[in-house]
Chains A and B, each alone.
Chain A
Amino acid sequence: MIDTLITIADWPGVKWVILVLMFALPVASLLTWAERRQSAMIQDRLGPNRANIGNIRLWGILHFVADVIKMIGKEDFIPGNAHRGLFKLAPILALVPVLIAFCIIPFGPTIYPHALFDVISTDALQGMIIHGGVANDLTWADQITLQILTIDFGLIFYFAILTFANYGTTLAGWSSYNKLALLGGLRASSQMMSYEVTMGLSLMGLFLIMGTLEPGEIVRQQGPNPWQWGIVLQPVAFLLFFSAAIAETKRAPFDLPEGESEIVGYFVEYSGLRWGMFFLSEFIEIVFISMLITSLFFGGWQVPFLHDDGLYLFGTVTEMNHITVSLLRILSFVMKVFFFCWFQLMIRWTLPRFRPDQLMQLGWKRLLPLALLNTMVTALILLWIQ
């Protein structure tokens, strides 16, 4: 019975449901409300705080429910001359790649279900030792990896999948039979292609240090000490990757493909839930980027100074059992993701929008050479160390 449950829990589909349907999508929906509230607070307003069910008001959190009901109720309009097939395909192409990309995110440590209440040693992975108990074969027989797909080419998989989102935006602009939507789609595709280069190259330094492209392995290698995390090893790469990632999500200051209220963008002809899919994919991308940055540069699920068998702080060791450590690590991952979601919203309401030429200059003349330089310097330092 328990074995069956463990097998089910370790199945990628179940983990995908837990991570995407039960965490990423709700957080993304909440972000639609959080962004409006946060922008209001930055601008000395109150923001939407009135959606309620009876007396339950919850600072207006229910606004996202109201939004969904509103979008379902809207007319699903398709322009007369639009390419109907591609028009319907585009929002799916914008949304689905992000949902697939979640597969590479390590959202928690490996859990050994038979050793939940034991204290697992730091050397557990090598020596398989348990403090004050006897480890038998059963202890390590089953394990649940809190990562949907552990694939060696994880980050390359992400970049490959991400390209499909590019198709989504471009096709949305093209199939709408609208000049302005087409121009918006072109802006979006040029922007996303330019910044994908920087995005990939900025991670090269990290790849050289870690020697792997598998995010789970990168998180494990960063370890519980914050000075071994990616942000310390590769601070420039973090800045480059973060900038490029915001450009990829097409949000301010890089929101010139669509720019919500001011610029006619690629989804100008969309309405109702199809528009909602574009809108939601933007926020899911925020969650995804937060998860990726957390995993690559901020130790993923690692809690500072928390080893497998307890907290190593000021020379003393506080022993903790496996389940406490695992829950703390998942909580740490969630907190870091929330922080970066918040930080991305903060940036969106701080910086003014770039002009297209400034955008291209920043992408090709600043970020790309910096990424190349970062890769080269990292390689030279590694060579010198060896």
Chain B
Amino acid sequence: MDTVTQSEKTTVGRATVVTVKREPSQTTSFMMTLIRGMTVTMRHFFSNLFTKTQTETLEYPEEKIPYPERHRGLHRLMKRDDGRVRCVACMCCPTACPANCITIVPAETDDPSVEKYPAVFEIDELRCIVCGLCVEACPCDAIRMDTKLHAAPVEFRGDAIETKTSLLERGGLSHAIQAGKGSDWRESEQ
């Protein structure tokens, strides 16, 4: 509703004075505006009293908005077909991490097909800024953030550190070709 019907501009010296002419109901009587306001509030009150169609509030623990597809939650480490960790300890993710929250201690394996594996893989969820750069950086599809889980509140800071075990517990199988297509990709293209 347009309450300002007209405005006049007069110049006094350097200043411009704007005189706003309002509806007579606004300056002479409060009754009309009062009734108008009451109809608005009554309409909302009664519609919300009997139905919840206008209510915006979500009763959080019981009702939740589903997260979007690309939501970044807690990390997880993916597994190979035989259940071993996909991570090859290439150190791409701690390098990319702007918060320096990823700690990897690489170790060698006896398996000739796997050059390195992470003996220790820890993520400090308190330092993590949930930017997702580690996922972008990973060449092996070893780390993902698609769990849609929140970091749980902890009593001690140490409890917020996700270990390799807990990260693998959330992990699943990944069938991506390990380390891209391998060194013989030119031959396989032909």
Question: Which A residues contact B (CB, under 8 angstroms)?
Answer: 38, 40-46, 346-347, 349-351, 362
Q: How far is the CA of A194 from the CA of B117 in the complex (A)?
A: 83
Output the least CB separation between B38 and chain A (Å): 5
Bitwise interface map of B from 29 to 56 toward A, beta carbon under 8 Å scored 1, else 0: 0100010011011101100110000111
Output the least CB separation between A20 and chain B (Å): 29
Output the least CB separation between A371 and chain B (Å): 16
State the 5 A-B residue pairs at the shortest beta-carbon distance, nearest first: A41-B48, A46-B57, A350-B41, A350-B37, A42-B41
Residues A38 and B45 in contact, CB atoms below 8 Å apart: yes
Task: Write out the residue numbers on chain B whose beta carbons fall within 8 Å of the beta carbon of A45.
Answer: 55-57
Residues A351 and B37 in contact, CB atoms below 8 Å apart: yes
**CB of B189 within 8 Å of the partner chain:** no
Bitwise interface map of B from 94 to 124 toward A, beta carbon under 8 Å scored 1, else 0: 0000000000000000000000000000000
Task: Write out the residue numbers on chain B whose beta carbons fall within 8 Å of the beta carbon of A347.
Answer: 38
Task: Write out the residue numbers on chain B whose beta carbons fall within 8 Å of the beta carbon of A46.
Answer: 55, 57, 59
Beta-carbon nearest neighbor of B37 in chain A: A350
Output the least CB separation between B39 and chain A (Å): 9
Task: Write out the residue numbers on chain B whose beta carbons fall within 8 Å of the beta carbon of A350.
Answer: 34, 37-38, 40-41
* A-B contacts besides A41-B49, A46-B59, 19 pairs, CB < 8 Å: A38-B45, A41-B48, A41-B55, A42-B44, A42-B45, A44-B44, A44-B48, A44-B54, A44-B55, A44-B57, A45-B55, A45-B56, A45-B57, A46-B55, A350-B34, A350-B38, A350-B40, A351-B37, A362-B30
Q: How far is the CA of A40 from the CA of B52 in the complex (A)?
A: 12
Interchain residue pairs with CB less than 8 A apart (5): A44-B48, A44-B54, A350-B38, A350-B40, A350-B41
Output the least CB separation between A72 and chain B (Å): 28
Output the least CB separation between B26 and chain A (Å): 12
Residue of A38, A44, A346 near B38 (CB, 8 A) is A346
Q: How far is the CA of A41 from the CA of B48 in the complex (A)?
A: 6
Given contacts A351-B34, A351-B37, contact A41 B57 (CB under 8 A): no
Residue of B34, B41, B48 near A349 (CB, 8 A) is B41
Q: How far is the CA of A161 from the CA of B34 in the complex (A)?
A: 31
Q: How far is the CA of A347 from the CA of B54 in the complex (A)?
A: 21
Q: How far is the CA of A46 from the CA of B48 in the complex (A)?
A: 9
Q: How far is the CA of A350 from the CA of B45 in the complex (A)?
A: 11
Beta-carbon nearest neighbor of B42 in chain A: A346
Task: Write out the residue numbers on chain B whose beta carbons fall within 8 Å of the beta carbon of A362.
Answer: 30
Q: How far is the CA of A362 from the CA of B56 in the complex (A)?
A: 37
Q: How far is the CA of A346 from the CA of B35 in the complex (A)?
A: 12
Beta-carbon nearest neighbor of A345 in chain B: B45
Task: Write out the residue numbers on chain A whose beta carbons fall within 8 Å of the beta carbon of B41.
Answer: 42, 346, 349-350
Beta-carbon nearest neighbor of A38 in chain B: B45
Output the least CB separation between A2 and chain B (Å): 45
Q: How far is the CA of A44 from the CA of B54 in the complex (A)?
A: 6
Interface-central residue, A38, A350, A351, A362, by most chain B CB under 10 Å: A350
Output the least CB separation between B9 and chain A (Å): 25
Task: Write out the residue numbers on chain B whose beta carbons fall within 8 Å of the beta carbon of A43.
Answer: 44
Output the least CB separation between B118 and chain A (Å): 45
Output the least CB separation between A343 and chain B (Å): 9
Task: Write out the residue numbers on chain A whose beta carbons fall within 8 Å of the beta carbon of B59.
Answer: 46
Q: How far is the CA of A41 from the CA of B57 in the complex (A)?
A: 10
User: Which residues in window 40-91 of B have CB below 8 A to A?
Assistant: 40-42, 44-45, 48-49, 54-57, 59
Q: How far is the CA of A351 from the CA of B42 in the complex (A)?
A: 12
Interface-central residue, B38, B45, B57, by most chain A CB under 10 Å: B45
Beta-carbon nearest neighbor of B35 in chain A: A350
Q: How far is the CA of A346 from the CA of B45 in the complex (A)?
A: 9
Output the least CB separation between B184 and chain A (Å): 63
Output the least CB separation between A231 and chain B (Å): 16
Q: How far is the CA of A51 from the CA of B49 in the complex (A)?
A: 19
Q: How far is the CA of A347 from the CA of B34 in the complex (A)?
A: 9
Q: How far is the CA of A43 from the CA of B41 in the complex (A)?
A: 8
Q: How far is the CA of A20 from the CA of B57 in the complex (A)?
A: 36
Output the least CB separation between B176 and chain A (Å): 46
Q: How far is the CA of A40 from the CA of B48 in the complex (A)?
A: 9
Q: How far is the CA of A149 from the CA of B179 in the complex (A)?
A: 93
Q: How far is the CA of A42 from the CA of B37 in the complex (A)?
A: 11
Q: How far is the CA of A41 from the CA of B59 in the complex (A)?
A: 14
Output the least CB separation between A287 and chain B (Å): 20
Beta-carbon nearest neighbor of B56 in chain A: A44
Residues A41 and B56 in contact, CB atoms below 8 Å apart: no
Task: Write out the residue numbers on chain B whose beta carbons fall within 8 Å of the beta carbon of A38.
Answer: 45
Q: How far is the CA of A350 from the CA of B34 in the complex (A)?
A: 8
Output the least CB separation between A35 and chain B (Å): 12
Q: How far is the CA of A38 from the CA of B42 in the complex (A)?
A: 10
